[in-house]
Chain A
């Protein structure tokens, strides 16, 4: 591999596929995956959700407008798929979260942290989907209320009250467990 210029990432970026849609999505993947695993409650389900999200985004890339934020567009796609899937689950009864299965996100291997982590996982899994997504978007993914409401497609006030209910439930569950 021959390099002609100095090793400046921005130069490299311009040389190869500047700003391609795929690359931008690739850059977002770690965050999207964190959201997916949080929503779905486990790595395997979260990765499935990621895959569905990427596929749908690629299929609908024409609908994304250059210059608008790709990240919120991707988050919106993901939460829509998740909510659809979660509803379908009541019929198909598999895929995403089984509230009592608990432990998942932290418990892939045999980390000593798994026990502590699973508390949070279990509590999150017991939240209604709408509260869980509000909690994740704001408290983990760092979106403002307004941004989160836009991703979810609901009024800010609705988002706010889901968030408060989710928080209260989480605090109660985590306290009980201690």
Chain B
């Protein structure tokens, strides 16, 4: 079938449903030019994200923030409270590990970032390896064939510099990128999403960010369906 520019771009953005996604992948495996185009779309996105990222990291000009500080009549308390909170948040936001994520995080993630780092599930496995369902999905699931409603979905697989195989996944309220080493799937990056109302609403946006992050890590192109299958057969070890 012929592939429209719209479909290719939507594929690169993680906007297609499973059926359409499969169609694009099939077309890409036959026509390397299509795969290159998708790569170009992703590269552009990564470049734009990186370009504008520093703005969201900067301190907001005090003049703007001041518009939002309520001049509470009769008490300076409310005002001070807001200012203090803002300052505290700013400080927290500057922790290097967090800051790295802020710029490419989607709307949902940015809003929930500060909450997310305090979630117990993160505290219990700091910088660790994938466990349980996630580890199982990383071991066994293939992006091309997994059921659409799988709780943990593999977004894509790729090799990073040095040859380690890495996979990006997402669940309902968390996702990340893990790379395989001798001990298992070491989680390199983590996205947390607040599991509030409207998950359906924001899914695609966040996923696109995760893909952009993967794109930055990847040494080459993402594995295609066949490459993934071969990698799984090889135990996800370096080729």
Verify that A and B bind, or say they do not. Answer: yes
Chain A count of residues within 8 A CB distance of the other chain: 59
Point out the residue from A26, A28, A30, A144 that lies within 8 Å of B205, measured CB to CB.
Answer: A144
Contact A144 B204 (CB under 8 A): yes
Residue B56 lies at the interface, judged by CB distance under 8 Å to chain A: yes
A142 CB to nearest chain B CB (Å):
3
**A47 CA to B5 CA, complexed, in Å:** 35
Proximity string of chain B (38-68) to chain A, C-beta cutoff 8 Å, 1 when within and 0 when not: 0011001101110111011110110111011
Q: Which residue among B40, B88, B202 has the maximum number of chain A CB atoms within 10 Å of its CB?
A: B202
Contact B85 A37 (CB under 8 A): no
Point out the residue from A140, A143, A164, A167 that lies within 8 Å of B52, measured CB to CB.
Answer: A140
**A47 CA to B20 CA, complexed, in Å:** 41
**A72 CA to B109 CA, complexed, in Å:** 14
Q: Which residues of B contact A167 (CB under 8 A)?
A: 9, 41, 44
Point out the residue from A9, A55, A145 that lies within 8 Å of B204, measured CB to CB.
Answer: A145
Given known A139-B45, A140-B52, A142-B205, contact A23–B85 (CB-CB < 8 A): yes
Residue B237 lies at the interface, judged by CB distance under 8 Å to chain A: no
Proximity string of chain B (93-113) to chain A, C-beta cutoff 8 Å, 1 when within and 0 when not: 000000000101111011100
Q: Which residues of A contact B48 (CB under 8 A)?
A: 120, 135, 139-140, 170
Contact A33 B60 (CB under 8 A): yes
Residue of A nearest to B4 (CB): A164
Residue B30 lies at the interface, judged by CB distance under 8 Å to chain A: no
Residue B26 lies at the interface, judged by CB distance under 8 Å to chain A: no
Contact A9 B52 (CB under 8 A): no
Contact A50 B51 (CB under 8 A): no
B193 CB to nearest chain A CB (Å):
11
Contact A37 B114 (CB under 8 A): no
Residue A38 lies at the interface, judged by CB distance under 8 Å to chain B: yes
B44 CB to nearest chain A CB (Å):
6
Contact B60 A142 (CB under 8 A): no
Contact A9 B118 (CB under 8 A): yes
Which of A14-22, A77-85, A90-98 makes up part of the contact surface? A14-22
**A106 CA to B201 CA, complexed, in Å:** 32
Proximity string of chain B (176-202) to chain A, C-beta cutoff 8 Å, 1 when within and 0 when not: 000000000000000000000110011
Q: Which residues of B contact A141 (CB under 8 A)?
A: 106-107
| Residues of chain A having any CB pair with chain B under 8 Å | 8-10, 12-13, 15-17, 20, 22-23, 25-31, 33-34, 37-38, 46-47, 50-51, 54-55, 58, 67, 69, 71-72, 105-106, 117, 120-121, 135-136, 138-147, 160-161, 163-164, 167-168, 170-171, 174
The 7 closest A-B pairs by CB, nearest first: A142-B106, A144-B204, A16-B81, A34-B55, A30-B56, A22-B68, A34-B56
| Residues of chain B having any CB pair with chain A under 8 Å | 5-6, 9-10, 13, 15, 40-41, 44-45, 47-49, 51-53, 55-58, 60-61, 63-65, 67-70, 78, 81-82, 84-86, 88-89, 92, 102, 104-107, 109-111, 114-115, 118, 197-198, 201-206, 208-209
